[in-house]
């Protein structure tokens, strides 16, 4: 499995370089950090973008330097899947609902996508995973049922 930017997009290093040059007008940051950069460097880089939107569950140097912060659910407040570096796909489960104004990442992304003209209709993480499995060869044939409670190593018989 390889994660790469879309055609014409930038990877992490390319984004940092564009920030340094002042070439970024709007930046969305998911989470509370920019790699392992120190807080002062994060604030300096983000100050070069006209707008920074941070989607994260906690305050951080990123949120402090952001134009807008959208509070997201913590890992314990959402469900979904992740794939580790060895290609093992695992599910994670919501322990309790998001607190205060926090929203699930899926809800935030779906609302943003709709505002930008996309016709996303995802209501659950399972629906997103089904779409992923239908589009990406790495996940072909997988479902929440085949991933199960303990996960599955991609390449194992399902």
Q: Which long-range contacts (CB under 8 A, 24 or more apart) does 80-83 make?
A: 80/105, 80/106, 80/125, 80/128, 80/129, 81/125, 81/129, 81/144, 81/147, 83/1, 83/154
Q: 138, 1 in Cβ contact below 8 A?
A: yes
First to last CA, the chain: 18
Determine the angle formed by the axes of helices 39-46 and 12-21, rounding to 10 degrees: 60
pLDDT digits (tens, 9 = 90+) for 7-26: 888 888 999 999 999 999 99
Q: 34, 59 in Cβ contact below 8 A?
A: no
Q: Break the chain into its structural domains and give their ranges.
A: 12-71, 75-153
Per-position b or e across 19-41, b if 16+ CB within 10 A of its CB: beeeebeebebeebebeeeeeee
**1 has pLDDT over 60:** no
- How far is 16 from 35, CA to CA, in rounded Å? 10
pTM: 0.81
Provide the pLDDT confidence category of residue 3 given band limits of 50, 70 and 90. Answer: low
Average of per-residue pLDDT across 101-107: 93
pLDDT digits (tens, 9 = 90+) for 26-60: 999 999 888 889 999 999 999 999 999 999 999 99
């Amino acid at each position: 499995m390889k994660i790469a930017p879309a055609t014409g997009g930038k990877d992490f290093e390319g984004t940092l370089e564009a920030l340094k040059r002042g070439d970024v007008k709007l930046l969305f940051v998911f989470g509370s950090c920019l790699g392992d950069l120190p807080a002062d460097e994060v604030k300096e880089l983000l100050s070069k973008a006209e707008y920074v939107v941070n989607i994260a569950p906690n305050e951080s140097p990123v949120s402090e330097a952001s134009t807008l912060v959208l509070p997201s659910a913590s890992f314990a407040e959402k469900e979904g899947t992740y794939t580790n570096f060895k290609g093992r796909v695992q599910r994670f489960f919501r322990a309790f609902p998001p607190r205060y104004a926090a929203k699930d990442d899926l809800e935030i992304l779906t609302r943003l996508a709709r505002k930008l003209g996309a016709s996303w209709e995802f209501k659950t993480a399972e629906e997103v995973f089904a779409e992923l499995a239908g589009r990406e060869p790495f996940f072909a044939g997988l479902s929440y049922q085949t991933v199960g409670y303990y996960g599955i190593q991609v390449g194992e018989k399902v």
